[in-house]
């Protein structure tokens, strides 16, 4: 998991939210990020736990440099590159997001083995109510600790809520062993395993998006 200190400079998308300050990041320790779930989704991605950046802004995989959103788009899940603050739109693409451990921390290494095991138990109970077609755990070591047994990337030996489980690399920008192209290939294979058709890029993909997500209403908001 990447460091959660704000990065100076760099281009920002039109309408993108202000980056949190160091004080705001420090105050995000222990915060939670709402699940993005709905019944009958094709795939639920399960991260390890929110980083401080995600905890501060209240959206999944929010830190600049995380490859989740580019990999999701390039693998054909979405017709355009979504921003983290648009994570509430994911169910319209057949996708959901949750975490093994709910509390935000500066690094996944701060989580204990027992905390990850309890998180695995909670994940099983949580997804019984939603029954996704496929569950994807983002992180080999976290999966091994939470569910036990040998771990390789790809389909695991266990099922969760009747759904096959796939283990994928952590999309954090610090996971240099797996480059974006590697993630895209694995996300693409996952999409095909879940029976999701590849989405063609939107004609307006290159134009700045003006849509955001109202997390209070849990749906898209428009200016």
Q: Which residues are catalytic?
A: 49, 60
- CA distances to 10, 102, 143, 165, 177 from 119, in Å: 35, 8, 10, 15, 26
Per the CB < 8 A criterion, the answer to whether 150 and 37 are in contact is no
Side-chain half-sphere of 56: how many Cα atoms within 13 Å? 20
Region at 94 (left for phi over 0; alpha for psi -120 to 50; beta for the rest):
left
How many Cβ atoms from other residues are within 10 Å of residue 211's Cβ? 15
**DSSP for 81-125?**
---GGGGGGGGGGTEEEEESS-S-BS-GGGS-HHHHHHHHHHHHH
Handedness of CA 48, 199, 218, 66 (dihedral sign): positive
């Amino acid at each position: 998991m990447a460091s959660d200190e704000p990065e100076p400079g760099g281009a920002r998308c039109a309408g993108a939210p202000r980056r949190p300050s160091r004080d705001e990041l420090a105050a995000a320790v222990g915060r939670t990020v709402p699940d993005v779930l709905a019944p009958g989704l094709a795939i639920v991605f399960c991260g390890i736990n929110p980083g401080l950046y995600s905890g501060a802004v209240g959206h999944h995989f929010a830190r600049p440099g995380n490859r989740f959103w580019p990999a999701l788009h390039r693998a054909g899940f979405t017709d355009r590159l979504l921003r983290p603050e648009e994570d509430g739109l994911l169910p319209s693409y057949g996708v959901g997001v949750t975490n093994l451990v709910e509390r935000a921390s500066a690094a996944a290494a701060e989580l204990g083995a027992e905390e990850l095991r309890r998180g695995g138990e909670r994940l099983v109970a949580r997804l019984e109510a939603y029954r996704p077609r496929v569950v994807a755990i983002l992180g080999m070591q976290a999966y091994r600790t939470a569910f036990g047994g040998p771990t390789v990337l790809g389909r695991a030996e266990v099922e969760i809520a009747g759904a096959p489980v796939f283990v994928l690399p952590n999309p954090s920008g610090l996971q240099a062993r797996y480059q974006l192209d590697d993630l895209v290939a694995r996300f693409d294979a996952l999409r095909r395993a879940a029976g999701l058709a590849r989405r063609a890029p939107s004609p307006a993909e290159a134009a700045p998006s003006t849509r955001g997500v109202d997390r209070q209403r849990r749906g898209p908001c428009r200016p």
